[in-house]
Amino acid sequence: MNNTPLAPVTVIGLGLMGQALAGAFLKAGHPTTVWNRTSSKADRLVAAGARSAPTVGDALAAGPLTILCLTDYDAVYELLGPDDVDLTGTTLINLTSGSSGQAREAAEWAARRGAHYLDGAIMAIPSGIGTADAVILHSGPQQLFEAHEPTLAALGAVTHLGADHGLASLYDVAGLAMMWSVLNAWLQGTALLRTAGVDAATYAPFARQIAAGVADWLPGYAEQIDKGAFPAEVSALETDARAMEHLIEESEAVGVNAELPRLIKAMAERAIAAGHGGEQYPVLIEEFGKPHTG
């Protein structure tokens, strides 16, 4: 039987997500120190066994590992930036949402202050924290991640993406792009079918099947993108563009908003005009990779 004490951890920031993070560490048996500007938000956690630190400095001094879950990166600097806050030797894991540029700047700032730093992103809702459904992404030095991985595993499925501190934020927004794109496509289809009396619940299983089928295409399409070659093995882009026009016409005919399909078709038309009409759909990566000039 292993009686080795579990590593202590500090959580700074006790919004709904921060409370979930601290709760997961407590449930896993880690000595957990918490701090929040509004101290009453720690009451439930203290009742469950956490220690509420009176100051940020006390919270940082409670152990070598501190999790940050704050409103934004400005809040990180506001709390930890004063000269009387000693970060020397501390490991900061910043799960605050932000951009990849902010993550890289924060890593440089932390290094100047003598701290070790990992940036991260939470791909879960608070109720999922502490379960296998919670995906927690980390980026920064691999050795640092591996040193604390046993502790971080209390939060869910933890993954290290690479040494670039900005990767977790980039994966985060890439995931959001997927989420909103799938939901928007479903809403477009739902709006169309509602004009014929088909409710959303009836359409949802069909839409789910389509989404799963499209997801199966991704590995092959990824291979085309990485090779920079887009042979039309399934359908040529110019054929897809004709179907896009049909979607636009149908939407307008039944009084449904056609902005989304028009946007997609405009990108396809630019690619076709550039000579890519005979290639497969992933060739549109060239359009997605360009800055908007409109």
- In three-state form (DSSP H/G/I as H, E/B as E, the rest C), the secondary structure along the chain is CCCCCCCCEEEECCCHHHHHHHHHHHHCCCCEEEECCCHHHHHHHHHCCCEECCCHHHHHHCCCEEEECCCCHHHHHHHHCCCCCCCCCCEEEECCCCCHHHHHHHHHHHHHCCCEEEEEEEECCHHHCCCCCCEEEEECCHHHHHHHHHHHHHHCEEEECCCCCCHHHHHHHHHHHHHHHHHHHHHHHHHHHHCCCCCHHHHHHHHHHHHHHHHHHHHHHHHHHHHCCCCCCCCCHHHHHHHHHHHHHHHHHCCCCCHHHHHHHHHHHHHHHHHHCCCCHHHHHHHHCCCCCC
pLDDT of residue 1: 45
Q: From the first residue on, what is the mean pLDDT of each consecutive set of 10 residues in the chain (294 residues)?
A: 81 97 97 96 96 96 96 96 94 96 98 97 96 97 97 97 98 95 98 98 98 96 98 95 97 97 97 97 96 74
pLDDT of residue 5: 85
* Sheet containing strand 116-123, strands side by side: 51-52, 32-35, 9-12, 65-68, 91-94, 116-123, 135-139, 157-160
CA atoms within 13 A on the CB side of 139: 23
What is the pTM assigned to this prediction? 0.91
The sign of the dihedral angle between the CA atoms of 24, 25, 31, 33 is negative
| Among 130, 134, 69, 123, residue whose Cα is nearest residue 96 | 69
pLDDT of residue 294: 61
Q: Phi/psi zone of residue 32: left (φ > 0), alpha (ψ -120 to 50 degrees), beta?
A: beta
pLDDT of residue 168: 98
| Among 34, 25, 29, 98, residue whose Cα is nearest residue 60 | 34
pLDDT of residue 2: 54
**What is the distance, to the nearest Å, from the Cα of residue 21 to the centroid of all Cα atoms in its chain?**
16
